[in-house]
């Protein structure tokens, strides 16, 4: 076991011993052939997971690096932030801190952005970039990505940045087919790697836009990523240990099979959903829009969630999450991301029952 307390909170999640062994491999130089081979070896698996023909770039940063960097590469005029919870709300703040004119498309936490809302705003014009979080981890609400990207197709001059941090590899998000311009994810959620690395891919259209933008900076400059990618390298010294771990994880995913991986997440998620219903809890997100990688439960019983998690931790050496941001205590979240199986999730649910005191 890598830690004494197992994490069933939605990120970081438990990292397997096999992944840690890969992470601990001896260091190699980042401009040598061994690195180039390593970099090239992860491309096919990443492209398959992104469902893209485009290159997939590796960033030594958490997801926020690319969430901010994508704005700096693409925004010419005004950005529209689709806001449904803590992470997507913060993206608006980040855009403003970067000095952009940033407009809110805000819905009440727990709810999704609807295609009607998005179309109504884009029809008024003057937006050139939209940010969207596919799976809002704070509320357990998953946006209807197909319907929303269909709306974007009516506005070809508007670029779409999609955060798939907590949905990537949990269910298919076909980047090319949906016409996503920048798709990004982090390492510590569904991929079950340690935190500190982000992955992203950029459409041709977005690359062209980036080439017209001044002030892209250096560290997150998409053109630098592309230039280095052509030689199987990254712009600056990357987090090489993470790439070894990623290589190992992609082997795991290939041997499980993508279809089986998606089915495993659906199955573990529905175990949690059944438990929620059977115990008289309510969901924070409406039916039809619930996340497949985590479940955000409304604390409709007014329980002392923090005390419950304390008992879970001391008796069964694991934790769930006691709610994020302004809904801390009013909700709790159970993650089924990463390597969790029907067995491990069923076990967790019995431990939750065992430690619940009302
Ligand atoms: C966790 C999370 C982030 C933030 O990731 P960092 O690794 O902290 O940068 C962004 N978006 C979503 C949807 C997340 O779940």
Distance 40 CA to ligand 1 centre (A): 26
pLDDT, one tens digit per residue, over 105-117 is 999 999 999 999 9
- With a 6 Å cutoff on the Cβ, whether 291 touches ligand 1 is no
C-beta separation of 136 from 143 below 8 A? yes
Mutate to test the pocket of ligand 1, among 7, 11, 195 (most ligand atoms within 8 A of CB): 11
Nearest to 258 by CA among 44, 35, 41, 99: 44
Distance 64 CA to ligand 1 centre (A): 7
Query: Hey, is 148 helix, strand or coil?
Result: helix
Residue 1 has pLDDT above 50, yes or no: no
Q: What is the mean pLDDT of residues 258-280?
A: 98
Residue 294 parent element (H or E)? strand 294-298
pLDDT-derived band at 244 (thresholds 50, 70, 90) equals very high
Q: Whose CA is nearest to atom 2 of ligand 1?
A: 165
pLDDT, one tens digit per residue, over 293-340 is 999 999 999 999 999 999 999 999 999 999 999 999 999 999 999 999
- With a 6 Å cutoff on the Cβ, whether 112 touches ligand 1 is no
Nearest to 327 by CA among 113, 112, 167, 109: 109
pLDDT-derived band at 2 (thresholds 50, 70, 90) equals very low
Residue 273 parent element (H or E)? helix 258-278
- DSSP letters for 325-358: GGGBTTEEEEE--TT--HHHHHHHHHHHHHH---
C-beta separation of 189 from 10 below 8 A? yes
Domains and CATH numbers, the chain: 6-13+257-355 (3.90.1150.10), 17-254 (3.40.640.10)
pLDDT, one tens digit per residue, over 64-90 is 999 999 999 999 999 999 999 999 999
Nearest to 200 by CA among 353, 38, 4, 47: 47
- How many Cα atoms occupy the beta-carbon half-sphere of 123 within 13 Å? 7
Distance 165 CA to ligand 1 centre (A): 6
Distance 344 CA to ligand 1 centre (A): 24
Counting other chains too, the contacts that 303-306 makes at CB distance below 8 Å and 24 or more residues apart are 303/356, 303/357, 303/358, 305/329, 305/332
Instruction: Give the position, in ligand 1's atom list, of the atom nearest the Cα of 187.
Output: 7
Residue 344 has pLDDT above 70, yes or no: yes
């Amino acid at each position: 076991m890598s830690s004494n307390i197992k994490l069933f909170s939605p990120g970081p999640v438990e990292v397997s011993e096999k992944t840690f062994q890969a992470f601990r491999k001896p260091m190699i130089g980042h401009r040598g052939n061994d690195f180039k081979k390593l970099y090239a070896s992860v491309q096919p698996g990443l492209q398959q997971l992104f469902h893209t023909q485009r290159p997939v770039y590796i960033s030594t940063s958490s997801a926020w690096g690319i969430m901010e960097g994508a704005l700096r590469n693409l925004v010419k005029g005004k950005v529209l932030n689709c806001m449904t919870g803590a992470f997507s709300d913060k993206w608006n703040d980040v855009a403003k801190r970067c000095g952009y004119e940033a407009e809110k498309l805000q819905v009440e936490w727990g709810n999704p952005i609807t295609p009607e809302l998005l179309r109504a705003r884009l029809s008024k014009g003057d937006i050139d970039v939209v940010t969207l979080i596919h799976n809002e981890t704070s509320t357990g609400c998953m946006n209807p990505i197909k319907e929303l990207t269909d709306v974007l197709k009516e506005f070809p001059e508007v670029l779409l940045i999609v955060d798939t941090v907590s949905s990537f590899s949990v269910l298919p998000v076909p980047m090319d087919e949906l016409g996503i311009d920048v798709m990004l994810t982090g390492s510590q959620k569904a991929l079950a790697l340690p935190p500190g690395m982000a992955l992203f891919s950029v459409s041709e259209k977005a690359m062209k836009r980036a080439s017209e933008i001044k002030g892209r900076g250096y560290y997150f400059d998409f053109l630098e990523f592309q230039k280095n990618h052509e030689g199987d390298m990254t712009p600056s010294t990357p987090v090489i240990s993470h790439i070894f771990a990623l290589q190992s994880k992609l082997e795991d995913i290939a041997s499980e099979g993508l279809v089986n991986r998606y089915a495993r997440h659906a199955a573990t998620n529905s175990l949690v959903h059944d438990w929620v219903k059977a115990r008289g809890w309510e969901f924070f997100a409406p039916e039809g829009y619930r996340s497949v990688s985590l479940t955000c439960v409304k604390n409709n019983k007014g329980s002392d969630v923090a005390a419950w998690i304390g008992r879970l931790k001391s008796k069964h050496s694991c934790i769930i999450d006691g709610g994020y941001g302004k809904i801390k205590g009013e909700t709790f979240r159970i993650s089924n991301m990463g390597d969790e199986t029907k067995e491990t999730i069923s076990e967790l649910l019995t431990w939750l029952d065992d430690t619940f005191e009302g």
